[in-house]
Structure 1
Amino acid sequence: MHEVVVTGYGMINGVGNNAEEAFNALLAGKTGVDIISHFDASDEKVQIACEVKNFNPDDVMDKKEQKKADRFIHLGLCAVAEAMKRANIGDDDIDRNRFGVCGATGIGGLPNIEKNVISSFQKGAKGVSPFFVPSTITNMLSGFVSIYHDLRGPNLSSTTACTAGLHAITEAAKTIMLGGADAMVAVGAEACICPIGVRGFANMNALSTRNDDPAHASRPFDKDRDGFILGEGAGALILESLESAQKRGAKIYAKLLGFGESADAHHITTPLVNHEGASRAIKAALDMAGNPMIDYINAHGTSTYYNDLYESKMFEGIFEQVPPLSSIKGSTGHTLGAAGAIEAVVSVMALNANMMPPTINFEESSDDMQLDYIPNKARAAQLRTVMSTNYGFGGTNGAVIFGK
């Protein structure tokens, strides 16, 4: 089995259009949550979201090509371009037949689906773009990445709700470990801040309705949390076999020590009490990693009542002494299928910076949640091993552990 290391990373989200900008904003406790600008939401039940600002798809695609790809693909290409540049992989450094990609998204091209369905009803067949299907289907993220970067190895896609980005990492890692590739791009992207997307989650009562106070609406683990904020963005990691990275003299940002996956087999949206299903994924990751001391956990922390309560109870059941943990979703919102990839990037950056990002908008603990959530201010610490966790609708769970 080949060891897997991280040699590049990139991300874009509501607080930054590249990894350094976004990470520094997280450490500073900034938030990107504001009134929705992608469409007129003034009459909506939920009028706030965490949108990517000042992003120009011209930076990653020719104008004539942009209509062939929905926004989640544009954002994904942005994160991958940054990750590839940071990895400094030359044309002759790796056999492109052994360099693959695993993309991830929870929903895919929802804005374009909505647009074309409306146009179809209004105009009939002529209202449907010939690019409708390829611009919206979920695997086109990995498809475009493969084409744009000439990656001719395995071309895979993960669509496992809010665990998808993490699963892209684990699938890419498995491919390398088993010798199916020397390097893989793992990328998760999401962009579904559109009327049907917001209304769908709002009508589930999953979203915060603090329309008059956007900056404090997403408040993971706080006593007064009332739902998550829809976010958008993308995260990407370049994973390589240790042999490949060493052969080309690559800078190694982290080693992938372990990962775990599980299912609740319980309910389409509600997790098992105390996240029992997710705990099995975390225990599997710890076991694979050799049960190291975890110095920091980047938790899923959605700002919903049950996730945050059950996740806290789960950690208490797994660890004799629960490590410091935080959720970045107060800053970025919940980026759904991109969350696992973005939060893995943040975890790797935290590991290298020896800085743990805070859980912002944390004002008061409830009696049944008394962990160290790193409230409101980033914290310096000597980090050797970090873990990131995600869970999704359908009862799909995952955890990944990185070490120096």
Structure 2
Amino acid sequence: MNRVVITGLGIISPIGNTAHEIWQSLIHNTSGIAPVPEWEQVKDLKVRLAGSCKDYNAKRILRKDRRTMGPMTVMAGLCALDALDQAGISPELMRSKEAGISIGSTTGSGNIIQQMFDDLKQTGGISRLEGTAFMKIMNHSVAANLAAMLGTSGRVIAPCAACATSTQAIGMGFETIRNGLQKIMICGGADELHLSTAGVFDVLNAASRQTSPERTPRPFDRDRDGLVVAEGAGAVILEDLDHALARNANILAEVIGFHTCCDGSHMTSPQDQGMLACMQGAMASSGCRLEEIDYINAHATGTLLGDAAEARAIAMLGTHNIPVSATKGFTGHTLAASGVMEAIFCLKMMEHNTLIPTKNLATVAPECEGITHILAPLEKEVNVIMTSNFAFGGINATLILKRYS
């Protein structure tokens, strides 16, 4: 089995578009949540807040490549370019058979889908339909467009598992390299903000209806009232260790474990046993002991059922003394991007030996007790991190990251 390391990263998020910006937001407790004024005009919608991304330059991607990209794919493309630049990987190497892609989204571009149906309603036909529309709305739009942009001829994997998507994408990239099938994989995920996402969670009574960005989301908190939808993208470069060493690459961390499994139970009700099995599977994959874990980055979104189930699962794992926090209090829930974003947050915590607390966690809910919640920045040596994401349909995914040595 080959060792797999991370040599580059790129991120576009509600709290910043570079590793430096996101760390400044995390360390200074800065929220990326803001009101969405246009949603106030939507009948019956009670959601007023979201996490949106700003100030990224789409024109960094050539027009010939950008013309088939929706907003989420543009963000993912920019992240991939940043990650490749940091890793020092040349365009020629990305076009070789040694390099592949594993990146996904929850759906195709919701904004493009809405535009298509708005045009159909107004014209009664397809006179405004663009030939590039399908390339923007297909479920593997992100992976396919990045492959075309970069000239990728190796493996292209496009996982689609909502909140667990990019954790699975990184895990699949890890397994691909570990088994000697590729030397380099660009891994991650992306999703764009759209009314339909907010509406679905609102109808399910799973979305926060707070109007103050400083009060929500509140993972694990007694007064949590649901998640806050958001958008964003992230990419990490996974590389075979020997390949990275041969080209003198700067190694950010090592991926040592991954597991994904399904509850096989319910479409929307989270199951602590499934979460537990996933974390245990990742531990077995990594070969490390529980006492070696220095920090757990929780999926916790701020929902009543999900946070409670995850707290129980972490407690059942036997992690009573391991610090736990959830970073979605800063960004909201970026769906398919959440796993890779949180992996990047974990890398920054490892780099700075500082654990970031759960934002807006003022009073731990009784049903979320039994684990060690981080309530203030915690300085400690951080060498091994567990990070998990759990999706609709009971799809669970967990990664184990380790400081490279």
TM-score range, shorter chain: over 0.9
Partner residue, 1:78 = 78
Q: 1:29-83 CA distances to partner (integer Å, 9 max, x unpaired)?
A: 111111116x443443112100012233223343x65442111101111211111
Match in the other structure for 2:205: 205
RMSD: 1.6
The answer to whether the 8 A contact 1:256-1:403 is kept is yes
Does the 8 A contact of 1:61 with 1:74 survive in 2? no
Deviation of 1:383 after TM superposition, in Å, equals 0.5
Find out whether 1:343 has 2:342 as its counterpart: yes
Measure the CA separation in 2 of the matches of 1:242 and 1:95. Answer: 20
Q: Does 1:356 align with 2:355?
A: yes
Q: Quick one: distance in 1 between partners of 2:7 and 2:310?
A: 30
Matches within 5 A, 1:167-206: 167-191=168-192, 193-206=193-206
| In 2, Cα distance between equivalents of 1:93 and 1:40 | 45
Q: Which residue of 2 aligns with 1:19?
A: 19
Distance in structure 2 (CA, Å) of the matches to 1:136 and 1:246: 39
Which residue is 1:396 aligned to?
395
CA contact (8 A) 1:14 1:231 kept: yes
SS at match of 2:14: coil
In the alignment, the residues of structure 1 paired with residue 92 and residue 119 of structure 2 have an alpha-carbon distance, to the nearest angstrom, of 46
Query: Which residue does the alignment assign to 1:318?
Result: 317
Q: Is the 8 A contact 2:207 2:226 kept in 1?
A: yes
Instruction: Count residues with an aligned counterpart.
Output: 397
Distance in 1 (alpha carbons) for counterparts of 2:306 and 2:26: 22
Moved more, 392-401 or 42-51: 42-51
User: Contact 1:93 / 1:248 at 8 angstroms: preserved in 2?
Assistant: no
Identity across matched positions, percent: 28
Aligned residue for 1:276?
273
Cα deviation, residue 300, structure 1: 0.1
**2:223 is aligned with 1:224:** yes
TM-score by length of 2: 0.94
Instruction: Give 1:328 shift.
Output: 0.9
Counterpart residue number, 1:286:
283
The one-letter code of the counterpart of 1:381 is: K
CA contact (8 A) 1:298 1:343 kept: yes
TM-score (norm 1): 0.94
Displacement of 1:91 in angstroms is 4.7
Answering whether residue 114 of structure 2 is matched by residue 114 of structure 1, we say yes
Q: Which runs of 5+ in 2 are unaligned?
A: none
For 2:65 and 2:287, the matched residues in 1 are separated by 46
Corresponding position of 1:154:
155
SS at match of 2:146: helix
Contact 1:103–1:168, Cα closer than 8 Å, also in 2: yes
Distance 1:24 1:122 in 2: 46
CA 1:74–1:91: 2 relative to 1, 3 Å: closer
Q: Does the Cα contact within 8 Å between 1:316 and 1:322 map onto a contact in 2? A: no
> Which residue pairs with 2:135 in the alignment?
134
* 8 A contact 1:18–1:79 mirrored in 2: no
CA–CA separation in structure 2 for the residues paired with 1:319 and 1:207? 30
Distance 1:268 1:89, change over 3 A: same
Specify the code of the residue in structure 1 equivalent to 2:128: G
Worse-superposed segment, 87-96 or 155-164: 87-96
Q: Is the 8 A contact 1:315 1:322 kept in 2?
A: no
